Amino acid sequence: MTRRFYSNGKLLLTGEYAVLDGALSFALPAKFGQTLTISEADSPYLSWTSLDEKGEKWFHTSLHLDLFRNSQEGGSYELKNLPASEDKVSEMLLRILLEAKRLNPDFLKEKIGCEVQTALSFPREWGLGSSSTLINNVAQWANVDPFALLAKTFDGSGYDIACARHNHPLLYKIEDGKPFIKEIEFNPPFKDALYFVHLNRKQNSREGINRYKEKEFDKETLIKTISELTKECIHCNELSRFKELMNAHELLLADILELIPVKEKLFQGFKGAVKSLGAWGGDFVLAIGDNTTPEYFFKKGYKTVIPYAEMIL
């Protein structure tokens, strides 16, 4: 028997960092994502292969099923004979699987081995959620709460898990320690003016989160301001006002993080608005312009410019 699971990638339009403290945020599930396929195998191993968007293998390991039986009994595990470049990936994968088993002791209980294959539909360096889609897929396979599995492995706000599981734009908030999720419609008349531009580098979101947590500022005011910006953003029908909202959001976070806004740093000649998304300093930004926007960024050396309709579900 073969089982297959799929999870959407993600982008966070409003609420980066502030979502951790309870701000109402606007999250966008992506048309790109990751699949997880599991097939039975006549061996005592879990054989894992990860493919990139081109179908090329970028990671492989084999884990003996005794690792998971021992873990249930409080045993330890060791990773042996793995290439040095794969150690960290293998350790994180094993940690995810072990935490899933601790959440559901029946997971990987059978003595029958399996072949597991993951496949991304987006480049790993895009930062669209290679980790969150993996967490959600494993959670589906193990029949456990994906938010609980996230908390045991990568931590974070959980908005990316919400995107992995929903096919519409979302309002997302952490309320009393639990995720609040509401699907919404977002279809403003200016959607054709919205583009997602990759900054040619992947940002470590945990580094950005740590930077945010180290800052001292009035969190209550930030949460209230971001939440109000989010509410107005999702109902906005005027392009000029939408630009103002995105600029206000960008400047607010720039002041708190003590960083230069991305437009001021890289795109001063751009006539539209540019807003950082998710982890500042890498991955994608939102560019608000017109039909000449892609050409501007192409000339600046940024070749990945994706219209809203091609990126977002």
Tens digits of residue pLDDT in 267-286: 999 999 999 997 776 689 99
DSSP for residue 2: E
Assigned superfamily of 188-311: GHMP kinase, C-terminal domain (3.30.70.890)
User: Comparing C-alpha atoms, which of 167, 180, 203, 166 is closest to residue 282?
Assistant: 203
Query: 167 and 182 in contact (C-beta within 8 Å)?
Result: no
Reply yes or no on whether the pLDDT at 84 is more than 60.
Answer: no
- Domain residue limits, the chain: 2-181, 188-311
pTM, entire model: 0.94
Average the pLDDT over 290-311 and give the result.
Answer: 97
pLDDT winner (highest mean) among 61-75, 100-114, 200-214, 237-251: 237-251
Pairing state between β 284-288 and 273-276: antiparallel
Yes or no: domain 2-181 corresponds to CATH 3.30.230.10: yes
pLDDT digits (tens, 9 = 90+) for 25-48: 999 999 999 999 999 999 999 999
Mean pLDDT rounded to a whole number for the chain: 92
- 75: pLDDT confidence band, cut at 50, 70 and 90? very low
pLDDT at 72: 54
Distance, in Å, from the CA atom of 13 to the CA atom of 210, rounded to the nearest integer, reads: 20
pLDDT at 297: 98
Distance, in Å, from the CA atom of 256 to the CA atom of 133, rounded to the nearest integer, reads: 30
How is residue 78 written in tokens?
A: 């060791």
Q: By percentage, how much of the chain surpasses pLDDT 70?
A: 94
- DSSP 3-state assignment of 11? strand
DSSP for residue 268: T
Average the pLDDT over 57-73 and give the result.
Answer: 82
pLDDT digits (tens, 9 = 90+) for 155-197: 889 999 999 999 999 999 999 999 999 999 999 999 999 999 9
